[in-house]
Structure 1
């Protein structure tokens, strides 16, 4: 299946979208201590008149709209807003204060020189969203949270979710990185897999896994992996809240393993067949909503609520008030096989729902510890990690050159290089995966091909 690359991805960026992506990378590099000449980009004056689509084919032809070009021009109001989001670094504090004063007084015009731009954005300024996070931890976790996704497309999820507001996207990224590092540790959960639950004797977590409350199988018509959730199997007394959260994160992170560029979202089918009030539990619903809205933006394709019984409308009246409008717009109520077939091919609609898929949704196959033999091969793991570090360094160098590009042709060249290096990073992860992640039931039954 050939999947069309949607708008707002690194391969299809408009001019103004490219500029916002450059700004996010510039802020991250500033925080990580990576030297980059980003003053013009951070003040909206960087090269951004060439779309990424042109970069992909090397044509260098401008396809930016008049509105995008206007949005990319630096103005006093935009500059002042952006500057207000920084804090003082370890140097140039006097220059920083003077520059800040000049911005507030409106002494910069929209046609300022390169020198005046550099004065306005002095070195050593760190975005406030990142100031409480340790640079080395943030950098390490950012690269760790990648699976087969491209680094740019991961960041672009946050930018799209925040309507291309650089500051808001950075705040969201910082919040997510803190959540992943200090609170929920989803990378450890996916790497430990189902076997980790048995090793730790987490009874409720194990029960969720063995009941197959949520099962990944098949793809919708847009190539997105489908998660079938059966609430009739859920009872709040079966697990602790912590065990429930771990199970939710295991499923979400397992779904990410099925994503292949350019597909970057999954579809969820809530099958309410046999659902009763004894199965209702608002806590996991709230948790899932918060995860998708705050930490996995743009990762939800559709959410089908299938065969809702007569008792469901009052429940829905409560739930819908918790939803962000964007998430709410992705929810579709379906009643029949024909309704589902508008979105999911028949061969991936379960037979018990009237489709042709005879996949066993009731049997969990526990992976044997022998399936994790490669986890013990630290020599190969370290070799692949060393290669990964080299690829990441190449990506960082290409991104620096992209940010610092002084003309459209150079910017397009480096963006094309970044996409190529991203493909190398994806291939490296595919090789590395069995050496860092415990095998799941999907690896064992062959449905997951990283």
Structure 2
């Protein structure tokens, strides 16, 4: 089996200049976190203090609040993977990348994603008396309008959206936003560097004006551009009917050039097979995979650990200690010139701590996240 080299600008494939930018980014983040690990540390190159400017993106939230929000964004992945996505999105301009990342952390805190998306999630499907928005949310999963299955030729998760199944009037805009965010946060558990992007297929077969939802389109564009950058690898708009093209002229004006550059239009099975191998493409699209989506309902008792407050606190305490250690290792590493023997030694110890953090997260996960369909399928953990 051939091991693919990580793409340029990702974990394991950074130039000395990119590594230096990553180090600078972490110095800014540690300052924003109010980390004591920076005390007494001198840097090989001076790093301007942008704390005041960046804190304005946080609506003057405290350093502890920012730190909690940042690590609530990282969760199971290597901390550098998150930071690198924002650096790539801003073409390695550290200040612009930090403004973007801090704004995204603030947005997550404002929307209370930890509670409303991660902790609550699909558990609403077990409610005896769900609210209208709860019903609107869980009905999206049951409808089969979107699902993930297999990977494309670049080992990116394939996520299919069957647009004909969408009725803009069947649920509120809030329910749709919750559904979209829950899908993204759930997919993040499955996407590991270097395969931390997805192949998004919009199946336009049977699309009509009754399916068009401008609110959803604008929301998708905004979150992938500003909140989850560098998450989309390729976008395939498949089998678009004539009625779509009049709308497309409007939609493409909303797109960031980076997102627009990822879009491909496909019509036949042969077009899709350029991106997805036949054994991974469903037979309905001309492939060899007989998979058909069926939602697996939440099960009574599957979220029992969410109520175990003391155990959660115990594991969270272990995680906090690992975060302290990672910040210490990071300040030591970030103070050294990139690509030196001393820097490489510090980087190795830091990587070990990052691995411990990831392992700790999977212990913590059932205490902070309602089980998802991916948990029930045994795809994560």
Residue 340 of structure 1 pairs with residue 259 of structure 2: no
Where in structure 2 are there 5+ consecutive unaligned residues? none
Query: 1:241 offset after TM fit, Å?
Result: 1.0
2:376 corresponds, among 444, 447, 450, to: 444
TM-score (norm 1): 0.77
Partner in structure 2 of residue 170 of structure 1: 98
TM-superposition CA deviations, 1:173-203 (whole Å, max 9, x none): 1110111001362664133221235534322
CA distance in 2, matches of 1:137, 1:86: 15
Name which one, 1 or 2, has greater alpha-carbon Rg: 1
1:211 corresponds, among 143, 150, 169, to: 143
Correspondence 1:118-197 to 2 at 5 A: 129=57, 132-183=60-111, 185=113, 188-196=116-124
Partner in structure 2 of residue 412 of structure 1: 344
CA distance in 1, matches of 2:20, 2:158: 34
- Secondary structure of the residue that 1:154 maps to in structure 2? helix
Instruction: Assess if the C-alpha contact under 8 Å between 1:10 and 1:419 holds in 2.
Output: no
Query: 1:17 offset after TM fit, Å?
Result: 1.2
Instruction: Assess if the C-alpha contact under 8 Å between 2:32 and 2:51 holds in 1.
Output: no
Correspondence 1:52-131 to 2 at 5 A: 85=50, 87=52, 129=57
- Secondary structure of the residue that 2:297 maps to in structure 1? coil
**Does the C-alpha gap of structure 1 residues 186 and 32 become closer, same or farther in structure 2, counting only changes over 3 Å?**
closer
TM-superposition CA deviations, 1:109-140 (whole Å, max 9, x none): xxxxxxxxxxxxxxxx9765457232111101
Instruction: Assess if the C-alpha contact under 8 Å between 2:44 and 2:337 holds in 1.
Output: no
Residue 26 of structure 1 pairs with residue 23 of structure 2: no
TM-score (norm 2): 0.90
Partner in structure 1 of residue 324 of structure 2: 393
Residue 43 of structure 1 pairs with residue 46 of structure 2: yes
Residue 277 of structure 1 pairs with residue 280 of structure 2: no
TM-superposition CA deviations, 1:382-429 (whole Å, max 9, x none): 343232222222211110111222682211211222222212212222
Query: 1:432 offset after TM fit, Å?
Result: 2.2
Residue 12 of structure 1 pairs with residue 17 of structure 2: no
TM-superposition CA deviations, 1:44-72 (whole Å, max 9, x none): 6xxxxxxxxxxxxxxxxxxxxxxxxxxxx
**Does the C-alpha gap of structure 1 residues 394 and 272 become closer, same or farther in structure 2, counting only changes over 3 Å?**
same
TM-superposition CA deviations, 1:11-52 (whole Å, max 9, x none): 2221111221111211122222224256646636xxxxxxxx
**Does the C-alpha gap of structure 1 residues 307 and 184 become closer, same or farther in structure 2, counting only changes over 3 Å?**
farther
Correspondence 1:284-323 to 2 at 5 A: 284-323=216-255
Partner in structure 2 of residue 62 of structure 1: none
**Does the C-alpha gap of structure 1 residues 213 and 158 become closer, same or farther in structure 2, counting only changes over 3 Å?**
same
**Does the C-alpha gap of structure 1 residues 291 and 384 become closer, same or farther in structure 2, counting only changes over 3 Å?**
same
- Secondary structure of the residue that 1:148 maps to in structure 2? coil
Instruction: Assess if the C-alpha contact under 8 Å between 1:402 and 1:411 holds in 2.
Output: yes
Partner in structure 2 of residue 59 of structure 1: none
CA distance in 1, matches of 2:335, 2:256: 37
Query: 1:278 offset after TM fit, Å?
Result: 0.9
CA distance in 2, matches of 1:26, 1:300: 27
Instruction: Assess if the C-alpha contact under 8 Å between 2:164 and 2:207 holds in 1.
Output: yes
**Does the C-alpha gap of structure 1 residues 375 and 266 become closer, same or farther in structure 2, counting only changes over 3 Å?**
same
CA distance in 1, matches of 2:303, 2:126: 14
Equivalences, count: 373
CA distance in 2, matches of 1:42, 1:313: 52
CA distance in 2, matches of 1:389, 1:265: 28
1:265 corresponds, among 197, 216, 241, to: 197
- Secondary structure of the residue that 1:305 maps to in structure 2? strand
2:289 corresponds, among 337, 357, 361, to: 357
Partner in structure 2 of residue 325 of structure 1: 257
TM-superposition CA deviations, 1:56-105 (whole Å, max 9, x none): xxxxxxxxxxxxxxxxxxxxxxxxxx56x564xxxxxxxxxxxxxxxxxx
- Secondary structure of the residue that 1:285 maps to in structure 2? helix
